[in-house]
């Protein structure tokens, strides 16, 4: 027989507590607490999936204590199923508790078989949720390469590419629109290589003023230019035995293109204002969101340097071409930012996911990241609805749904429209759409559409 599951019962009335223990101990491993402090201790140690919580803990205390305890349980473990037990005149408290995240409430007097059924259902839901969390974790693990999340064939190609170049020392050119993860890929190559314990040095060629770039790269000798008060090592020297990543290589001015070419050919350079030659063993990875070939053809980028850099290259696909990966990445980011901000886990509503899927993402993953960061903080509830995403309605959103998703969306819209037209009268709405009342109900259930009351 499998081990009994743990159930925590919080109840200040000793008699009731005994009665409850008697009713449940045959089926569960029961832990009893008659005050909040003990309740939290037991909750943290025994990690029960389900808690029975008497909301008005002592006759003179207010509901607040019980509600605070509920919040505490959920902040420690948000997927705990907390069943509130209330007196018959505590409707308002029960509603508050449900809003705060209680699973269900039970009104005294206690009839053990009834309450047992409720507890059993709560365990059932908890188990389903745990399984689904474990599933999505496993799915994420299968679809990631370090911090790079994705499962579409295009990104799997990128993972293979990283594997195959990481073990070599060849120069790598990474192409792709802004925010597609070029730096992340460069870092992954470094981390998979034998250089992983050595420095990974990033140079953003567009962020450093042209007159300072050379000294940034190669260092300078004391007094070599106004402001060069002391000798300084450049990024090349700092990257000894490691990897140098040039971001926005397309922005590098012609004079430095020559110097970089020389380094690539001879692995040698001089500091600004110096004559001594330095040798550095560093692997070069470069990236750009420009069309480097075109820049070369237009004469903005040296041909010899272009061919030196373009030994092996990869183009990262824009987010809008990665299919359902956008949802996978969005969910990953929601978890990540909840954890970073130390707030209980949130999740995206189905509608929010659809909006994310439909959007065109001109700023790619960086844009998605910013949006999720904001939504996680702004969203008042544990579920992130579309309004928290703050999509600018005027932006172009291209339909990139699968046929199945598109059909589902239309079906849902038809249901909502029919309900509205018929002022919520189910049989009329069903007739409107040419389906039976039963089918209509099934569809409402499928789409999670709630109706006020049966009409
Ligand atoms: N597949 C992915 N999964 C998860 N996070 C990602 C993925 N791709 C990119 N990111 C994240 O998106 C952000 C942008 O990525 P990165 O800086 O590597 O892009 P980039 O192509 O270098 O952008 P830019 O052209 O603006 O320099 C980073 O915070 C990165 O961690
Ligand atoms: Mg970048």
DSSP 104-142: EEEESSP-HHHHHHHHHHHHHHHHHHHHHHHHHHHHHHH
Domain count, the chain: 4
| Distance in Å, CA 315 to ligand 2 centroid | 13
Nearest of 360, 384, 381 to residue 372 by alpha carbon: 384
With H, G, I as helix, E, B as strand and everything else as coil, classify residue 50.
strand
Q: Are residues 304 and 207 in the same domain?
A: yes
Q: Which of 140, 171, 189 is the last residue of a domain?
A: 140
The minimum-distance atom of ligand 1 relative to the CA of 149 is 3
Q: Are residues 164 and 273 in the same domain?
A: yes
Beta carbons of 378 and 415 less than 8 angstroms apart: no
Domain range enclosing 337: 320-389
Q: Are residues 175 and 313 in the same domain?
A: yes
Pairing verdict, β 144-145 and 50-54: unpaired
Q: Are residues 274 and 174 in the same domain?
A: yes
Q: Are residues 62 and 165 in the same domain?
A: no
| Distance in Å, CA 369 to ligand 1 centroid | 9
Q: How far apart are CA 18 and CA 21, in angstroms?
A: 5
| CB-based contacts of 22, cutoff 8 Å, min separation 6 | none
Closest protein CA for atom 23 of ligand 1: 179
Q: How far apart are CA 427 and CA 78, in angstroms?
A: 39
Residues with CB under 6 A from ligand 1: 147-150, 176, 178-184, 247, 289, 329, 365-366, 369
Choose one of 181, 333, 356 to mutate for the ligand 1 pocket test, by most ligand atoms within 8 angstroms of C-beta: 181
The reply to whether 333 falls in a domain is yes
Q: Are residues 208 and 97 in the same domain?
A: no
| Distance in Å, CA 224 to ligand 1 centroid | 37
CB atoms inside a 10 Å sphere around CB 258: 13
The minimum-distance atom of ligand 1 relative to the CA of 185 is 18
Q: How far apart are CA 313 and CA 325, in angstroms?
A: 23
Q: How far apart are CA 41 and CA 37, in angstroms?
A: 6
Q: Are residues 313 and 324 in the same domain?
A: no
Q: Which ligand is nearest to the CA of 364?
A: 1
| Distance in Å, CA 366 to ligand 1 centroid | 6
Torsion of CA 27, 32, 34, 35, to 10 degrees: -120
Closest protein CA for atom 30 of ligand 1: 181
Q: How far apart are CA 384 and CA 378, in angstroms?
A: 9
Beta bridge partners of 183: none
The minimum-distance atom of ligand 1 relative to the CA of 184 is 18
The reply to whether 455 falls in a domain is no
| Distance in Å, CA 167 to ligand 2 centroid | 23
| Distance in Å, CA 170 to ligand 1 centroid | 23
| Distance in Å, CA 308 to ligand 1 centroid | 25
- List per-residue pLDDT tens for the chain, 455 residues long: 458 999 999 998 889 999 999 999 999 999 999 999 999 999 999 999 999 999 875 555 566 788 899 989 988 887 899 999 988 777 788 888 888 888 999 998 899 999 999 999 999 988 988 887 888 788 888 899 999 999 999 999 999 999 999 999 999 999 999 999 999 999 999 999 999 999 999 999 888 887 788 888 888 877 777 776 777 888 888 999 999 999 999 989 888 899 899 888 888 888 888 888 888 899 999 999 999 999 999 999 999 999 999 999 999 999 999 999 999 999 999 999 988 887 777 888 888 999 999 999 999 999 999 999 999 988 877 888 888 898 765 444 444 566 677 677 778 878 888 888 887 888 888 888 888 888 888 888 888 777 765 55
CA 291 to chain centre: 31
Q: Which ligand is nearest to the CA of 246?
A: 2
The minimum-distance atom of ligand 1 relative to the CA of 180 is 21
Q: How far apart are CA 210 and CA 299, in angstroms?
A: 19
Residue 411 backbone phi and psi in degrees, to 5: -55, -45
The minimum-distance atom of ligand 1 relative to the CA of 186 is 18
CA 59 to chain centre: 44
């Amino acid at each position: 027989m499998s081990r009994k599951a743990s159930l925590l019962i919080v109840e200040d009335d000793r008699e009731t507590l005994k009665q409850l223990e008697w009713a449940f101990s045959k089926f569960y491993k029961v832990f009893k607490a008659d005050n909040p402090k003990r309740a939290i201790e037991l909750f943290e140690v025994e990690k029960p999936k389900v808690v029975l919580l008497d909301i008005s803990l002592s006759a003179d205390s207010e509901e607040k204590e019980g509600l605070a305890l509920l919040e505490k349980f959920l902040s420690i473990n948000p997927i705990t199923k907390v069943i509130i037990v209330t007196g018959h005149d505590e409707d308002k408290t029960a509603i508050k508790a449900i809003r705060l995240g209680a699973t269900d409430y039970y009104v005294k007097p206690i009839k053990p078989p009834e309450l047992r059924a409720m507890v059993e259902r709560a365990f059932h839901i908890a188990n389903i949720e745990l399984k689904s969390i474990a599933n999505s974790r496993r799915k994420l693990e299968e679809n990631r390469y370090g911090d790079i999340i994705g499962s579409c064939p295009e990104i799997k190609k990128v993972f293979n590419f990283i594997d195959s170049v990481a073990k070599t020392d060849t120069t790598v050119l990474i192409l792709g629109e802004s925010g597609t993860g070029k730096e992340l890929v460069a870092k992954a190559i470094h981390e998979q290589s034998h250089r992983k314990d050595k420095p990974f040095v990033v140079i953003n060629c567009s962020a450093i003023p042209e007159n300072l770039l050379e000294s940034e790269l190669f260092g300078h000798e004391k007094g070599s230019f106004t402001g060069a008060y002391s000798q300084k090592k450049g990024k090349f020297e700092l990257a000894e035995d490691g990897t140098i990543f040039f971001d926005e290589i397309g922005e590098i001015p012609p004079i430095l293109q020559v110097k970089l070419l020389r380094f690539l050919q001879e692995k040698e350079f001089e500091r600004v204002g110096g004559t001594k030659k330095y040798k550095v063993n560093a692997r070069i990875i470069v990236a750009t969101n420009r069309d480097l070939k075109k820049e070369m053809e237009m004469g903005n980028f040296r041909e010899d340097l272009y061919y030196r850099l373009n030994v092996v290259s990869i183009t990262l696909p824009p987010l809008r071409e990665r299919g359902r990966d956008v949802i996978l990445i969005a969910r990953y980011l929601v978890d990540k930012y909840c954890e970073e901000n130390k707030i209980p886990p949130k999740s995206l509503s189905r509608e929010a996911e659809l909006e994310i899927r439909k959007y065109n993402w001109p700023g790619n993953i960086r844009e998605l990241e910013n949006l999720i960061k904001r939504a996680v903080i702004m969203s008042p509830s544990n579920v992130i609805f579309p309004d928290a995403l703050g999509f600018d309605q005027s932006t172009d959103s291209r339909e990139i749904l699968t046929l199945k998703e598109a059909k589902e969306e239309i079906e849902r819209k038809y249901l909502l429209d029919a309900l509205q037209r018929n002022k919520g009268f189910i049989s009329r709405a069903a007739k409107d759409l040419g389906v039976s009342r039963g089918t209509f109900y099934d569809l409402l259930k499928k789409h999670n559409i709630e109706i006020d009351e049966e009409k």
